[in-house]
Structure 1
């Protein structure tokens, strides 16, 4: 497993601690792998999820670090969403 993905999962767990995200989401990072977010927290995994968000590593990192708004990334085509759009919007508000 990639150290970068492990670090990103840890950062997501920090952001989600105490946050209200009750669904399942997968971040697919191009050429790296995937991170699952669900009731158990964030972990490196390629399990199925209700919504899948796809981006390159640079976009994903900018979203995690708060330098890029997930909605702006989606509107500009840097982030694609497949699945439950409502859940994606809920996740975006938790990460913002």
Structure 2
């Protein structure tokens, strides 16, 4: 399931730059890693980690979930470099 989402992210990043590394940690469902424009589902350490459910990840990527609201409501937990998380907001916003 996450491989499909990772494929959609790859398409969405086409022609866009994302500097740094970010992990979407969906718990038992797995992880998606953005690393300097590359997308993978193999776990590795990153500059920033976003912990969220797979459903909330889908909503976030579709623009149906406001990142700031989600963080304030506890739907997304961020650890690591907050500046990297802010770059994601510009990318999907």
Aligned length: 93
Which segments of structure 1 move beyond 2 Å, counting only runs of 4 or more?
Answer: none
Corresponding residue to 1:56 among 53, 57, 64: 53
**How far has the Cα of 1:81 moved from its partner?**
0.4
2:3 corresponds in structure 1 to: 6
CA distances 1:28-71 after superposition (whole Å, capped 9, x unpaired): 00220101001242111111100000001111111122211222
Counterpart pick for 1:28 among 25, 28, 45: 25
For structure 1, the residue ranges without an aligned partner over 5 or more in a row are none
RMSD value, Cα: 1.2
**Corresponding residue for 1:42?**
39
Aligned equivalents of 2:2, 2:37: Cα separation in 1: 17
TM-score (norm: length of structure 2):
0.91
Unpaired segments ≥5 residues, structure 2: none
Q: What does residue range 76-95 of structure 1 map to in structure 2 within 5 Å?
A: 76-95=73-92
- TM-score normalised by length of structure 1: 0.89
